[in-house]
Amino acid sequence: MKQDSGSASALNLRTAGILDACELSECSGVPSLRRLRQGPVAVIECSEEIPCNPCEISCPNGAIEVGRPITNRPMLKSDQCSGCGVCIAKCPGLAIFVVDLSAETEDIVSLPYEMLPIPQVGEIVDVLNREGNLVGPGKVAQVATSYGNDRTTVVTLAVDKGQGMHVRALRVKGAEYAQQR
Amino acid sequence: MKYRETEILVVGGGPAGLSAAIEAADRGAGVLLVDEQKDPGGQLVKQIHKFFGSGRHGAGTRGIDLATQLASKAQKLGVQLLQGMSAVGVFEDSVIFSDRDGSLFRFRASRGIIATGASEKAVAFPGWTLPGVITAGAAQTFVNLYRVVVGQKVLVIGSGNVGLIVAYQLLQAGSEVAGIVEMRPEIGGWGVHASKVRRLGVQILTGMSVKEVRGRDCVEEIVLCTVDQDGTPSGEERIITVDTVCLAVGLSPRIEFPQWLGCRMGFSASLGGYVPLHNSVMETAVPGWFVAGDAAGVEEASTAIEEGRLAGIAAATSLGYGKGTTCEEEIREIRESLNELRLGPFGRERKRAKERVVSEYETG
């Protein structure tokens, strides 16, 4: 399908549902590249003033601050974040990921997943970026379906080096729910 | 005609009605809640996604689970839940309900709380009566409640939160979503909901509208056209092959009941249409009758819960239950919470509209 028509040529959150580079850099929940390279850390892609704060309450380390009013955007104190990933399944917007850029040969991304089938550890899946485009294969490193996640599966993927800040979804090979374009 | 008496009658068992019943019963009032659906919870029963809002007030919980929690809390407090009954008429001293078989029941109450919710708007275009054109609520009922996939390839009209969420749920059910059409140049709903579907490959077609749906006996294709800022078609067309068109074009407060009562009404486009005017504790211009939730202006479940609580507390205290400083403190806290929920770019206009409703009530 062709790209969005009309005068709105720039793809950003309000025109296309895609955070552009500028919007991403302004998110107070997105850690610095330096921190990302030190090991796993939450990446909170929540840039609008909406009334929501389960992330703040979920964090065992107090690393996420929303405060009052509740429409404040979440602020990540990345030095306090252990990258445990408890917040991933708590976010109703499915907007939190845990990214680890510390390895030399691959990047690690944990993301929320609410589709079927649920992939198996070791399985090779298609990984998609914020635009829904296929950006390569990913290997499933971990699948967390704990009670506390309340039916949101957290899938940890090993992806190509350099893709950690781009991979935001997965598609099990052969599944039809996500559309190939 | 069968006849029943109660202290507080709640009409509607969604988040607002259940929350009102809980607060009133918690203060000792006798509460009867009548709801037209088979199960309590209103629209919550078909919301399978996790809810936004304050984590301390149940946000992060799926709508369907919130329905169960609220209903069981109400029952534990002694609220009588009567399901499967619709309000069909109002007398000066009583309200008439009908069950599914058409038997009539007459209820008399000292106080009443209207929590009738909202109904979906539609948009008319050539072909809109073809089988396969459905509303977002109908799609959710099929898919989430009865587990029936509504179509193989669906186009969603409207990019408000409802349209974005239903698109995501259609993907979960295994449908292909051919796109989400938005007349305005920007997406209507929250960015996080839009991102959720976009990263699974669903495009949001801004600046476009429906021209026509074609098909012999059912939907076969849809013709879209580009529109300019004020909604005028600008010529360029696009045809997409789909079997289902899902309308998510907004909601209107369900106001038949307050109109029967003779509540003074006011119009607010940003609240979805006509709403009963009410004071700061949700009492309408008909003394003893309160209103809460989408019936008082279309918003979100979290605001419906808080308004319901306000109405429940106010109705109970007006009968002499649970008066005192704790009540005033609670009312103050709920108002603060409502104010916070209505901050930000998505709440600002609703907040102003809500304030206008109260000031119109007071000046009228």
pLDDT digits (tens, 9 = 90+) for B270-301: 999 999 999 999 999 999 999 999 999 999 99
pLDDT the model gives residue A176: 57
* CA-based max dimension of chain B: 66
From A46, A54, A132, residue closest to B199, measured CB to CB: A132
pLDDT the model gives residue B2: 65
pLDDT the model gives residue B1: 65
Q: How far is B60 from chain A (nearest CA, A)?
A: 6
Question: Quick check: B6 pLDDT over 70?
Answer: yes
Q: Is residue B329 helix, strand or coil?
A: helix
User: A79-93, B1-15, B121-135, B290-304 — which is least confidently predicted?
Assistant: B1-15
pLDDT the model gives residue A181: 41
CB pairs < 8 Å spanning A and B: 182
Confidence of residue B56 (pLDDT cuts 50, 70, 90): confident
Place of tokens 């390569």: A136
> What percent of chain B has pLDDT above 70?
99
The answer to whether B171 contacts A115, with C-beta atoms less than 8 Å apart, is: yes
Mean pLDDT of chain A, nearest integer: 92
Question: Which of B153, B186, B187, B199 would best serve as a mutation to test chain A binding (most A beta carbons within 10 A)?
Answer: B199
From B191, B200, B207, residue closest to A48, measured CB to CB: B191
Hey, what are B157's tokens?
């009209």
Residue in B closest to A13 by C-alpha: B191
Report the alpha-carbon distance of residue B213 to residue B206 in Å, rounded.
18
Neighbours of A37 (CB within 10 A): 14
pLDDT the model gives residue B192: 98
Interface of A with B in 130-159 (CB under 8 A): 130-133, 150-152
Question: Quick check: B255 pLDDT over 60?
Answer: yes
Chain A residues in contact with B197 by the CB 8 A cut-off are 17
pLDDT the model gives residue B364: 76
Residue (of B15, B9, B12) closest to B32 by Cα position: B9
pLDDT: is B2 or B285 the higher one?
B285
The answer to whether B341 contacts A48, with C-beta atoms less than 8 Å apart, is: no
Q: How far is A55 from chain B (nearest CA, A)?
A: 8
Report the alpha-carbon distance of residue B92 to residue B206 in Å, rounded.
50
pLDDT the model gives residue B341: 94
Is residue B196 within a helix (H) or strand (E), and if so which, with residue range? helix B191-198
Neighbours of A39 (CB within 10 A): 15
Residue range A67-107, pLDDT digits in tens: 999 999 999 999 999 999 999 999 999 999 999 999 999 99
Give mean pLDDT, residues B209-218.
97
Q: Tell whether B238 lies on the interface with A, counting CB pairs under 8 A.
A: yes
Is residue B315 within a helix (H) or strand (E), and if so which, with residue range? helix B301-318
Q: Tell whether A110 lies on the interface with B, counting CB pairs under 8 A.
A: no
The answer to whether A7 contacts B59, with C-beta atoms less than 8 Å apart, is: no
Report the alpha-carbon distance of residue B238 to residue B229 in Å, rounded.
18
pLDDT the model gives residue A3: 43
What's the gap between Cα B221 and its chain centre? 30
From A6, A48, A168, residue closest to B199, measured CB to CB: A168
Give mean pLDDT, residues B225-237.
88
Question: Quick check: A177 pLDDT over 60?
Answer: no
Report the alpha-carbon distance of residue A153 to residue A144 in Å, rounded.
6
Give mean pLDDT, residues B3-13.
95
From B176, B194, B199, residue closest to A128, measured CB to CB: B199
Question: Quick check: A4 pLDDT over 60?
Answer: no
Q: How far is B61 from chain A (nearest CA, A)?
A: 8
Question: Quick check: A9 pLDDT over 90?
Answer: no
Tell me the residue type at A11.
L
8 Å CB contact between B205 and B181: yes
The interface predicted TM-score of the complex, written ipTM, equals 0.94
Question: Which of A18, A23, A30, A50 would best serve as a mutation to test chain B binding (most B beta carbons within 10 A)?
Answer: A50
Q: Tell whether A26 lies on the interface with B, counting CB pairs under 8 A.
A: no
Q: Tell whether A128 lies on the interface with B, counting CB pairs under 8 A.
A: yes
Report the alpha-carbon distance of residue B201 to residue A130 in Å, rounded.
9
Give mean pLDDT, residues A166-180.
78
pLDDT the model gives residue B234: 85
What are the DSSP E strand ranges found in chain B?
2-11, 31-34, 80-82, 85-90, 95-99, 104-114, 118-120, 133-135, 153-157, 176-182, 204-206, 208-214, 221-227, 233-241, 244-247, 251-253, 265-268, 273-276, 289-291
From A92, A168, A176, residue closest to B174, measured CB to CB: A176
Mean pLDDT of chain B, nearest integer: 95
Give mean pLDDT, residues A29-53.
97
Q: Would you put residue A59 in left (φ > 0), alpha (ψ -120 to 50) or beta? A: beta
Query: What is the pairing mode between strands B80-82 and A167-171?
Result: unpaired
DSSP B284: B
Residue ranges in B229-297 assigned as alpha helix (H): 256-261
Interface of B with A in 178-207 (CB under 8 A): 178-179, 185-187, 190-207
pLDDT: is B364 or B92 the higher one?
B92
From A14, A51, A130, residue closest to B53, measured CB to CB: A51
DSSP A56: H
What's the gap between Cα B187 and its chain centre? 21
Residue in A closest to B234 by C-alpha: A6
Read off the pTM: 0.95
